[in-house]
């Protein structure tokens, strides 16, 4: 059976309503097999949006998932237990009267059969909770509870997995691996994963798509790279940066410097822990990118990429300008953002289509 | 002290308290669940009604129960269906009276335990496809276990110690309505101090054990709850 990954298999929600005195009016599209991060400040309505999608709070509007109508504008409303959206709460809601193993079994017993779904053994192993199975939640640390709760949600074999800051208490080192695993699971199972976070590092690591939310409204949504580059209009400005996906050519275990391939160009990065052939994600901050019109000689920066100016964006009220550069070809999907002064841009005569050399002072791996 | 006069009231009391406790859990648990979960405006009036026996003099409650259970009341109507003249002065009447009288003692701890459980575990169960019925039995009831035990223990103990209501609606019929507290009263009236001492001392120890047990159960819930 081929798994549907078209828009029909994804999640589509258009919700509005008032919870307490908070007004939410948000439309969210999340494709199957992809991780969609809802990113925004605390109190922006992220949690409410997830709860409404799961049916835990009742908002007006329409929710469709996997071709199934969960609620519509005419008042049809499927209760949460008929939606079966996997949910990881911010403060893990394990059943206190059951052991960790009992909690997992609770989910398993009520899960629909789904070919290719993760087995209990796999989930237990990946989450590193094998030693905790006999323990009660009261005797777990915060991170252990979160991992157990994530395992329980996964073993419910949901089609839609809603994660409300599920890994905030998990040790930083373990978190990166878990996020990667979640991404792969989403892809392999055709799972819709909607993750809520205010941790940019987590979003960069996991998200295929990003929806920006503030004051109960989705202000921008799109592929992760484009949103992080800040191309969306009206989006709240992050510390401007972009996300690049690069292939590992040589992990550089001996030299300590890994060689990466980015659209045919080479990059050297330190501190990589991966194997050749794999794909990793890099974050490059706009202020760490310098531009040159000639190939620079005699400088210490090793990472120099060729590309073409795509767009110039003045930062109102500052002497700076942001230059969006397509790496390699002019229509490249790998975008870099450089923050330089307007004076420098004028001196270099930069304009759309202009070929440039981008000097990367610093490249960080995934987590900032 | 005569075993023939001492044991029947004790047995009757334990029977009454046992059966009453079963009914208390049967009615009290759904009632406590409703009180803990509902957003209905009826919640506070109903809660007040349940708590009424805490403040009402037992004789007042007993008086109204006597009328309700008597031949002219609804209790008498029900009794006639079974060929009895009235529910007053019968064991069945005592059970009904005891359930009403002890209801707040059972409902309060159970309601408290349901409230302490919070929404989260119930919501988590729902997202794992457990129906509300399933959730009630597999999450709410086990999660409120200590409250249920405390409610049962307090309901049982309170029924054992009941006096005024029983005197009003049950009278003093040996083997049918003559429970422990009334037997003690009789023994004192008849100046049988030794028997009164034994029964009272027994009840004292029993009551202390019950209160100690309930406190330790509530304590454990507070410290062990996650």
pLDDT tens for residues A51-80?
999 999 999 999 999 889 999 999 899 999
pLDDT at A236 > cutoff 60: no
DSSP codes, A158-195: -SEEEEESTTTTS-HHHHHHHHHHHHHHHHHHT-EEEE
Q: What is the pLDDT of residue B38?
A: 92
Q: Which of A95, A98, A103, A114 to probe by mutation at the B interface, max B CB count within 10 Å?
A: A95
Q: What is the pLDDT of residue A170?
A: 78
Residue A7 or A292, more confident: A292
For residue A334, which phi and psi values (nearest 5 degrees)? -85, 115
B105 CB-contact burial (10 Å; exposed 0-12 / middle 13-18 / buried 19+): buried
Residue A182 or A153, more confident: A153
Residue A351 or B142, more confident: B142
Q: Is A78 on the interface with B (CB under 8 A)?
A: no
Chain B residues close to A55, C-beta within 8 Å: 126
pLDDT at A237 > cutoff 70: no
CA distance B13 to A281: 75
What pTM was computed for the model?
0.74
Nearest to A30 by CA among A61, A65, A56, A2: A65
Q: What is the pLDDT of residue B75?
A: 82
Chain A residues close to B113, C-beta within 8 Å: none
Q: What is the pLDDT of residue A5?
A: 45
CA distance A245 to A264: 12
Residue B59 or A175, more confident: B59
As a whole number, mean pLDDT of residues B67-93 equals 83
Chain B residues close to A104, C-beta within 8 Å: none
Lowest-pLDDT choice from A150-154, A214-218, B176-180: B176-180
| Nearest beta carbon to residue A93 from set B121, B132, B138 | B121
- Whole-number mean pLDDT of chain A? 84
Q: What is the pLDDT of residue B222?
A: 52
Report the DSSP beta bridge partners of residue A213: A218
Chain B residue with minimum CA distance to A92: B120
For the segment B13-59, what is each residue's pLDDT rounded down to a tens digit?
889 999 999 999 999 999 999 999 999 999 999 999 999 999 999 88
Q: Which two tokens stand for residue A188?
A: 């392999």
Determine whether the interchain pair A87/B225 forms a contact, defined as Cβ–Cβ distance below 8 Å.
Answer: no
Nearest to B126 by CA among B113, B112, B139: B139
Q: Is B130 on the interface with A (CB under 8 A)?
A: yes
Instruction: State what percent of residues in chain A have pLDDT above 70.
Output: 90
Report the alpha-carbon angle B218-B223-B226, nearest 5.
110
Chain B residues close to A112, C-beta within 8 Å: 129
What sections of A27-119 are H helices per DSSP? 46-54, 80-83, 100-109
| Nearest beta carbon to residue B128 from set A79, A96, A107 | A107
Q: How confident is the model at residue B221 (pLDDT cuts 50, 70, 90)?
A: low
Q: How confident is the model at residue B1 (pLDDT cuts 50, 70, 90)?
A: low
A237 CB-contact burial (10 Å; exposed 0-12 / middle 13-18 / buried 19+): exposed
Chain A residue with minimum CA distance to B129: A81
Nearest to B141 by CA among B152, B154, B155: B152
| Nearest beta carbon to residue B131 from set A81, A94, A111 | A81
Determine whether the interchain pair A89/B126 forms a contact, defined as Cβ–Cβ distance below 8 Å.
Answer: no
pLDDT at A328 > cutoff 60: yes
CA distance A48 to A43: 9
Q: What is the pLDDT of residue A175?
A: 77
CA distance A77 to B65: 46
Q: Who contacts A289 (Cβ-Cβ below 8 Å, separation ≥6)? A: A325, A336, A337, A338, A339, A358, A359, A360, A361
Q: What is the pLDDT of residue A1?
A: 38
For residue A313, which phi and psi values (nearest 5 degrees)? -130, 115
| Nearest beta carbon to residue A87 from set B127, B138, B143 | B127
pLDDT at B178 > cutoff 70: yes
Residue B109 or B215, more confident: B109
pLDDT at A280 > cutoff 90: no
Q: Who contacts B207 (Cβ-Cβ below 8 Å, separation ≥6)? A: B157, B161
pLDDT at A17 > cutoff 60: yes
Q: Who contacts B61 (Cβ-Cβ below 8 Å, separation ≥6)? A: B52, B53, B97, B100, B101, B164, B165, B168
pLDDT at A31 > cutoff 70: yes
Residue A297 or A233, more confident: A297
Residue B167 or A239, more confident: B167
Instruction: State what percent of residues in chain B have pLDDT above 90.
Output: 46
Q: How confident is the model at residue A4 (pLDDT cuts 50, 70, 90)?
A: very low
For the segment B114-160, what is each residue's pLDDT rounded down to a tens digit?
999 999 999 999 999 999 999 999 999 999 998 999 999 999 999 98
Q: Which two tokens stand for residue A37?
A: 């991060």
pLDDT at A246 > cutoff 90: no
Tokens 């009914």: give the residue.
B23
CA distance B73 to A60: 50
Identify the three-state secondary structure at position B44. helix
pLDDT at A275 > cutoff 70: no
Q: Who contacts B108 (Cβ-Cβ below 8 Å, separation ≥6)? A: B51, B151
Do residues A258 and A270 make contact, with C-beta atoms less than 8 angstroms apart? yes
Q: What is the pLDDT of residue B125?
A: 96
Which of A 176-235 lie inside 8 A of B, CB atoms?
Answer: none
Q: Is A344 on the interface with B (CB under 8 A)?
A: no
As a whole number, mean pLDDT of residues A77-88 equals 93
Which of B 16-75 lie inside 8 A of A, CB atoms?
Answer: none
CA distance A146 to B11: 52
Determine whether the interchain pair B130/A81 forms a contact, defined as Cβ–Cβ distance below 8 Å.
Answer: yes
Residue B110's Cα: distance from chain center in Å?
Answer: 12
Determine whether the interchain pair B225/A95 forms a contact, defined as Cβ–Cβ distance below 8 Å.
Answer: no
Q: How confident is the model at residue B170 (pLDDT cuts 50, 70, 90)?
A: confident
pLDDT at A255 > cutoff 80: no
CB atoms near residue A163 (< 10 Å): 26
Element (H, E) at A284: strand A279-285
Chain B residues close to A87, C-beta within 8 Å: 123-124, 127
Across the A:B interface, residue pairs with CB atoms under 8 Å apart total: 82
CA distance A166 to A357: 40
As a whole number, mean pLDDT of residues A230-257 equals 67
Q: Is A132 on the interface with B (CB under 8 A)?
A: no
Q: Is A93 on the interface with B (CB under 8 A)?
A: yes
Which of B 142-181 lie inside 8 A of A, CB atoms?
Answer: 142-143, 145
Nearest to A244 by CA among A190, A176, A325: A325
Distance from CA of B220 to the nearest CA of A (A): 12
Q: What is the pLDDT of residue A2?
A: 39
pLDDT at A235 > cutoff 60: no
Determine whether the interchain pair B142/A97 forms a contact, defined as Cβ–Cβ distance below 8 Å.
Answer: yes
Chain B residues close to A54, C-beta within 8 Å: 127
Residue B189 or B134, more confident: B134
| Nearest beta carbon to residue B127 from set A80, A91, A138 | A80
Determine whether the interchain pair A107/B126 forms a contact, defined as Cβ–Cβ distance below 8 Å.
Answer: no
Q: Is A50 on the interface with B (CB under 8 A)?
A: no
pLDDT at A95 > cutoff 90: yes
Lowest-pLDDT choice from A12-16, A92-96, A331-335, B190-194: A331-335
Which range among A175-179, A363-367, B131-135 has the greatest average pLDDT?
B131-135
Q: Is B138 on the interface with A (CB under 8 A)?
A: yes
Q: Is B223 on the interface with A (CB under 8 A)?
A: no
pLDDT at B5 > cutoff 80: no
Q: What is the pLDDT of residue B90?
A: 85
Q: How far apart are the first and last CA of chain A?
A: 40
Determine whether the interchain pair B128/A156 forms a contact, defined as Cβ–Cβ distance below 8 Å.
Answer: yes
Distance from CA of A7 to the nearest CA of B (A): 23
Q: What is the pLDDT of residue A6?
A: 45
Do residues B98 and B159 make contact, with C-beta atoms less than 8 angstroms apart? yes
Q: Which of A85, A97, A114, A160 to probe by mutation at the B interface, max B CB count within 10 Å?
A: A97
């Amino acid at each position: 059976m081929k798994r549907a990954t078209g828009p029909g298999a994804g999640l589509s929600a258009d919700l509005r309503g008032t919870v307490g005195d908070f007004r939410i009016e948000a439309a969210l599209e999340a494709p199957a097999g992809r991780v969609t991060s809802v990113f925004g400040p605390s109190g922006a309505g992220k949690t409410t949006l997830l709860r409404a999608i799961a049916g835990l709070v009742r908002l007006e509007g329409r929710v469709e998932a996997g071709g199934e109508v969960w609620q519509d504008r005419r008042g049809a409303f499927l209760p949460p237990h008929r939606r079966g959206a996997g949910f990881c709460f911010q403060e893990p809601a394990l059943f206190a009267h059951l052991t960790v193993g009992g909690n997992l079994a609770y989910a398993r017993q009520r899960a629909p059969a789904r070919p290719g779904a993760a087995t209990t053994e796999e989930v237990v192993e990946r989450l590193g909770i094998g030693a905790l199975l006999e323990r009660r939640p009261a005797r777990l640390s915060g991170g252990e509870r979160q991992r157990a709760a994530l395992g329980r949600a996964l073993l419910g074999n949901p089609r839609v997995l809603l994660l409300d800051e599920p890994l905030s208490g998990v040790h930083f080192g373990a978190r990166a691996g878990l996020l990667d695993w979640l991404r792969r699971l989403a892809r392999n199972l055709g799972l819709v994963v909607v993750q809520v976070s205010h941790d940019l590092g987590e979003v960069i690591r996991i998200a295929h798509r990003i929806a920006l939310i503030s004051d109960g409204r989705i202000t921008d949504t799109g592929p992760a790279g484009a949103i992080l580059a800040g191309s969306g209009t009206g989006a709240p400005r992050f510390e401007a940066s972009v996300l690049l996906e690069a292939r590992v050519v040589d992990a550089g275990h001996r030299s300590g410097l890994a060689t990466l391939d980015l659209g045919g160009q080479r990059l050297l990065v330190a501190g990589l822990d991966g194997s050749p052939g794999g794909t990793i994600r890099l974050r490059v901050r706009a202020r760490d990118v310098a531009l040159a019109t000639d190939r620079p000689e005699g400088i210490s920066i090793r990472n120099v990429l060729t590309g073409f100016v795509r767009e110039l964006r003045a930062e109102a009220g500052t002497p700076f300008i942001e230059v969006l550069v397509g790496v390699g070809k002019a229509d490249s999907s790998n975008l870099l953002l450089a923050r330089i002064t307007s004076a420098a841009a004028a001196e270099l005569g930069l304009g759309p289509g202009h070929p440039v050399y981008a000097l990367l002072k610093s490249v960080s791996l995934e987590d900032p | 002290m005569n075993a023939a006069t001492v044991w029947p009231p004790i047995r009757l009391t334990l029977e009454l308290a046992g059966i009453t406790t079963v009914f208390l859990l049967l009615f009290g648990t759904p009632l406590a669940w409703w009180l803990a979960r509902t957003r209905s405006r009826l919640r506070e009036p109903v809660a007040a009604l349940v708590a009424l026996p805490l403040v009402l003099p037992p004789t007042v409650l007993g008086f109204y129960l006597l009328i309700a259970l008597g031949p002219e009341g609804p209790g008498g109507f029900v009794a006639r269906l079974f060929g009895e003249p009235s529910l007053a002065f019968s064991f069945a009447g005592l059970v009904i009276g005891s359930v009403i009288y002890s209801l707040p003692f059972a409902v309060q701890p159970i309601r408290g335990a349901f409230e302490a459980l919070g929404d989260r575990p119930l919501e988590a169960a729902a997202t794992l496809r457990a129906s509300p019925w399933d959730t009630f039995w597999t999450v709410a009831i086990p999660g409120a276990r200590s409250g249920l035990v405390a409610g049962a223990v307090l309901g049982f103990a309170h029924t054992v110690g009941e006096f005024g209501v029983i005197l009003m609606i049950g009278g003093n019929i040996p083997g049918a309505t003559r429970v422990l507290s009334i037997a003690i009263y009789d023994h004192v009236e008849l100046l049988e101090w030794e028997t009164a001492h034994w029964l009272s001392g027994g009840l004292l120890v029993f009551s202390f054990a019950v209160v100690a047990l309930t406190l330790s159960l509530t304590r454990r819930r507070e410290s062990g709850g996650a």
